[in-house]
Structure 1
Amino acid sequence: MVTSGLTSASPPKFVSLEEIMQAANGMRDMALVHQIVVDKDFRLKRVEPEPDSVQKIIKDTMHKAFWDVLRAQLAEEPPNYTQALNLLEEIKEGLFAVLLPQHTRIRQQISEILDTDLIKQQALQGTLDFKNYAQYVISVMSKLCAPIRDDKINELKETSDVIDTFRGILELLDLMQLDMANFTLQMARPDIIARSVDLERKKFADYLAIQTDLTAF
């Protein structure tokens, strides 16, 4: 009787690209957690494109086009508020993003004053005071921003050009969201430290499991 030289074996496990990416992301997460744990002054920072890079040129071109369209629309007779309405909606969402859970009254006030339907109605009636909304937004931000942003608030209050004012508002909102992220990170740091050992152990085990599967091919 001739027996086969082949023996049964488990089929090779297929490792998907998603699993590989998850493992890679896990290692990055682990490195980030480690950095937060060892560096008490760790802060998130804005990532800006390199000067003269393609990304920088594209970003600047798109931003300029947005503000040029807004300026042109507001200069029409009667003013065209299409871009302005989109901008106010974006600003409202930006303000919501920097509110804390206890800011219920401010949230309600923002919702009422920056009500989309109300603003659209004002635009149709020709009573929309775009600059007045800018001043309201600045007043809200002055109550919410960190003291380090006070100079920027004062600069916005003194800016006369409405387009420059709203451009500055968006830039400041971006900084305030970064401040909020860093504040949240600092508040969570004790818990991150307490959980870091278990988290790093799990992430490293996941990474090793993927590496083992890859070497099986």
Structure 2
Amino acid sequence: TLNGGTIKDAAENNATLTLSSPGAAGSLGANKDIVIDTTAPTISSGTVAANNTYIDVAFSEGVYNTNGGSGAAEASDFNLIFTQNGGNASDASISSVTNTSGGALSGGESTIRCVLSISGIPSGVETIEVVPQGSAIYDAAGNAAEATETTTAKTLNDQLAPTIVLTANPDSIIADGTSTSTITAKVEDQNGDPVANGTDVLFETDQGTFASSTVTKQTSGG
């Protein structure tokens, strides 16, 4: 209110103080499209790189790390949840964030690349999940992403090489003589299961030489 005062123009004419009803002819709402954004940004997807070096976190709109629509997202704005699930890797964290080209963020990106630091070699059963920290990620209107937003659990890709278990029957040979022994090479994945059929195994020894040999391949089911 003006407490009895008036608003005048340069010619001393009093201004009309009665505003038009919202939506009526001449009102601001009738002449301008006014949209108030109250929708917080959400996470729409998460994609893990084939070599497990990063996870791309896609948002529903461009995001910032201040509620004023400015500032680039930082690694500390995110939380990574790692679940081992009996796998070989023991932990994972976000070491940095970039744009999808690997460059520095400037603010307003809708996809953030979270670069991963992983302890141990993933065996394909471990999972990671990225969520925003509370009041850390905002859209241009200042709406904060909820800390309950998530990429959902994403499985890391298997990078652990298979192991070879060698057995021999008999397990000794005659010194300076000739013996016959059956050597079995079993190639197993990280769970102890045979790998796909047809895997070649190169066997070498410094304990003697092969006078002759017969190779038999056994399928994973046999």
Q: TM-score per shorter chain, which class?
A: under 0.3
Where is the helix percentage greater, Structure 1 or Structure 2?
1
Q: Which is greater in Rg?
A: 2
Determine which structure has greater relative contact order: mean sequence separation of CA pairs < 8 Å that are 6+ residues apart, divided by chain length. Answer: 1
Normalising by structure 2, what TM-score?
A: 0.18
Normalising by structure 1, what TM-score?
A: 0.18
